[in-house]
Structure 1
Amino acid sequence: MGMSFAYGEVDEAEALATLGHAIDAGVNFLDTADMYGRGGANERLLSRVLAERRDEVVLATKFGIITDPETGYPTGEVNGSREYVRAAVDASLRRLGTDVIDLYYLHRVDPARPIEETVEAMSELVAAGKVRAIGLSEANAETLRRAAAVHPIAALQSEWSLFSRDIEDLDVPAAREVGAAIVPYSPLGRGMLTGSAPTALPDNDFRQTLPRWQGANLTENLTLVDEIRAVAGEVGATPGQVALAWLLAQGDDVVPIPGTKRRRYLDENVGAVGLSLSADQMDRLAALRPAGERYPDMEWVSGRSG
């Protein structure tokens, strides 16, 4: 997402270099969405890499969040209708320049219709050979179980990190119950857990709208990051690597997707794979609780479209 949308200035040359470097390093899971950038800009960006390296990656994209065609920002609407499912997948396939999507997510659950309707339509895409597997993003445990009764759900993508723990009690067990992998987005707390995130954000950085990045909340959260920094010092790693290692240790079915825009941060993230934390370090990290609420969906941008 950050390569095309919401995190400050876009640098396509560095984005393409980072994507190529990721594949060279053995990173083979690329996650995008039709609303990342105006008119599907991020899918079109990925198409330039996929044109040469499609067989080397597992490709995921998402649909359902309606955006304003003029601004590119979400309108606050979600469409999970059968007609929209069919139209959205064909549009994504065209932009991506591929004939099949490996993992196709409903980006947010449509509150206006039963999840069964949307999943049934998505299952037809699998039968048609346009999609290999389907997933849900930010779906709760009950919705996940209902969806899985219609068609196997391969993955649940939700925010999960040391600073976002709310899916652990119900949603993670439900995902494991139905056999869905868990794909945590923002595993680095939208950059805060790296210990080097900027606190003076540009106007086009959506983090300005998030409670955890404001006022006293930000001050307290940066203090909590000091504990992550302390563990990092003990194991000879960076705070971001510690945050990723903690998440990776939650299970082999956990596949975090840190959204780096630059090669130097990509290499740092990859270095977390081989990092082991002690039981004591895991417990100390698990005890951290951030100040301020997170936004569990993308309503944060609907007000920026005007």
Structure 2
Amino acid sequence: MLLAALTALFMALGYTLGGTGGALIALIVAAGMNLFTFWNADRIVLSMHHAREVDAQSAPDFYGLVRELAGRAGLPMPRVYLIDEPHPNAFATGRDPQHAAVAATTGLLSMLSREEVAGVMAHELGHVRNRDTLIMTMVATIAGAISMLANFGLFFRGGHEEGNGHGNLIAGLLAVIVAPFAAMIVQMAISRTREYGADAAGAEISGNPRALASALAKISGQAGRIPNPVAERNPAAAQLYIVPVHVSELFSTHPATEKRIAALEDMAAEMGGPAIAAPPRASALSPAPQPRRRASALDPHRR
């Protein structure tokens, strides 16, 4: 329904601007740009984060965990990457399950227990299994076409309106202003539904919704405090991560973390597990000491 709404919005914008030629050109150009991104997204994203590929020899625990989860999910083994950053986060990329890659930061591995890391990586494999990369590429294609058509629409209009020039001009200006904003809202709504779907898939794959909920609580508590240079240079990268970098529920590509944890609590209850206890939050004036020097299950030597 959301994809249909986005397509209808594009068609309405093209109609309002008064011609099919400009709409067709904008759609072709936007589709070409997004098609290039679709085929090369994994290389672009991994290069942007300076990610290094690891294997069973260089990171046996982490690689083995991903291999176990991929087997549970019925997926081909993805390529596995580590990012040497203190910022705790993870993401998945690749155009389909056969060309997928998953990545996590060293900050995430040092902060979480093995069970929590398993929940996070199961979430990312859920994105792969649900083919969210393909879905979001379709969304980006239509949204990109809307933005491009809005930017160049007045030029495509030409001067063929004679009778009601002022009315047509006002309608065109409203379309140029309103359409990209509406497309952004629909795009965020689709992205949020995919996050809920990946949470559910991650809980199913890992078999432990409590661990994923605990990981979300820990990561969200630190994601806004620890700098993320990639997201600061390119804010569009924020939609890749398991939690948003800047917490703003209205304009975020992710649902509120509290709502995601509540949904995982419901899953845990259905599976017969105990309620998920959220870790206490440190206040800004009296922060609780962080276990920075404690070795994690996947990083016993604190590397």
- Which has the higher Rg, Structure 1 or Structure 2? 2
Q: Identify the structure with the greater helix proportion.
A: 2
Q: Identify the structure with the greater strand proportion.
A: 1
| TM-score bucket (shorter structure) | under 0.3
TM-score normalised by length of structure 1: 0.21
